[in-house]
Amino acid sequence: MALIRYRWLAPLLALALLAACGQNHDGAASGHASATPAKSVLSSIHLLQKGQFDALLQQLLPPAEYRRMRAFWTARHARLGQASARDRARFARAMAELTAPDANQRIWSRIQAKLRQMDPQTRARLPLMIGMGQLMLSTRISQADQLSPDQKQQAGDVLEAVGSWAQKTDWTDQDRIRRVVGVVTATARKLDLGTLDQVAALDYAQAMRKYAVVWSGLKQALDVYGLSLDQTLDSVTARTLQSDAHTATVRVDYTLLGKPQHLTVDMIRIDNHWYDKDLLDHWRKALQRAAPAPAVSAAAAAGKPAPPVSAPRPPVAHRG
């Protein structure tokens, strides 16, 4: 659920940078999109909602950082060509199963058989198990040294809303499961990727469009269980609390599962555009952990793919 919150766009950024899922930098990040700190936040939310991930990354990263990201993505994506025969076979089998003409019925029949075998006591314990997971996450939030007290409160409020929804949801409801199976198979068909070689052959722009397909499928699946990401993102409002020539603080308000939430975003101005300061810090630190920054930036500046590097860990979001 981290993607619901603007501050939690950091994991999304990490996913976009690392996964093997163009437009010029004159697009979404220019013009009025970053004219004010609040407009910059709202522009990012809008792009996320629409699944326009390349434009979102251009909005979140200054031009030099965006070029470094593209070089890094190219290096990571090239590794798909080195996948083992076992991984290739697994991927091909999975996609063949998901896109077969009778995929819905075959997958649902298997799930239905497992549901019949499920111990009634196990079903009854699901809310308790979810509650235990919620408690563990709450403990981690409270012990997170990198979060301020206000950020911990914000994260706790979101966790409480999502945890309450998850505990009350009947995850074994057969009608809902059948509908989600339909969403998954339809999404797999729209991807139109039967082999890892086909995935590896995607260029950056094509890969970003595939991301949008998966994002749309995810939203549809969550809708089935009563969590509408579109409703949450539609509810977002932003206002600038304070601003000077170089920095600003923006308050973001939104509604999650019927409960009002808010967070604050620290912004920094670079070349007349406003960017999320913490997210930029996360990205730069992640790239530094992956490889020396000069090696990547030099390749980006030359317009060449960067050499393969180790994947950075996804950035830890600083906002609740």
What residues does each domain of the chain span? 2-82+204-302, 85-191
Residues forming beta bridges with residue 270, ordered by sequence position: 273
Locate 27 and state its tokens: 């697009």
Query: Averaged over 256-273, what is the pLDDT?
Result: 93
For residues 208 and 228, what is the distance between their CA atoms, to the nearest angstrom?
22
The mean pLDDT value of the chain amounts to: 82
pLDDT exceeds cutoff 90 at 89: yes
Query: Averaged over 258-269, what is the pLDDT?
Result: 93
Which residue in 226, 275, 281, 297 sits closest to 56, CA to CA? 275
Can you give the pLDDT at residue 207?
Answer: 96
pTM, two decimal places: 0.77
Helical (H) or strand (E) element with 134: helix 120-142
Can you give the pLDDT at residue 124?
Answer: 84
| Count of alpha carbons within 13 angstroms of residue 108, beta-carbon side | 17
| pLDDT more than 90, % of the chain | 65
Can you give the pLDDT at residue 247?
Answer: 95
C-alpha triplet 197, 200, 201: angle, nearest 5°:
90
Helical (H) or strand (E) element with 255: strand 247-256
Locate 136 and state its tokens: 């563990």
Contact between 46 and 32 (Cβ < 8 Å): no
Q: Select the more confidently predicted residue: 121 or 9.
A: 121
Say how many residues make up the chain: 320
Can you give the pLDDT at residue 21?
Answer: 32
- Amino acid (1-letter code) at residue 70: R
Contact between 163 and 130 (Cβ < 8 Å): yes
Contact between 29 and 273 (Cβ < 8 Å): yes
What is the number of other CB atoms lying within 10 angstroms of the CB of residue 267? 24
Phi, psi (deg, nearest 5) at residue 310 = -75, 145
pLDDT exceeds cutoff 70 at 17: no
The residue whose two tokens read 């979101």 is 158
38-88 residue pLDDT tens = 999 999 999 999 999 999 999 999 999 999 999 999 999 999 989 999 999
For residues 159 and 94, what is the distance between their CA atoms, to the nearest angstrom?
33
Contact between 289 and 312 (Cβ < 8 Å): yes
The residue whose two tokens read 């793919």 is 305
Query: Averaged over 218-241, what is the pLDDT?
Result: 96
Can you give the pLDDT at residue 14?
Answer: 41
Under the banding of pLDDT at 50, 70 and 90, the label for residue 34 is low
285-310 residue pLDDT tens = 888 887 654 444 444 444 444 444 33
Can you give the pLDDT at residue 296?
Answer: 46
| pLDDT more than 70, % of the chain | 80
pLDDT exceeds cutoff 70 at 168: yes
Helical (H) or strand (E) element with 316: none
- Amino acid (1-letter code) at residue 290: A
For residues 286 and 294, what is the distance between their CA atoms, to the nearest angstrom?
14
SS3 52: coil
Query: Averaged over 26-44, what is the pLDDT?
Result: 69
216-227 residue pLDDT tens = 999 999 999 999
- Amino acid (1-letter code) at residue 182: G
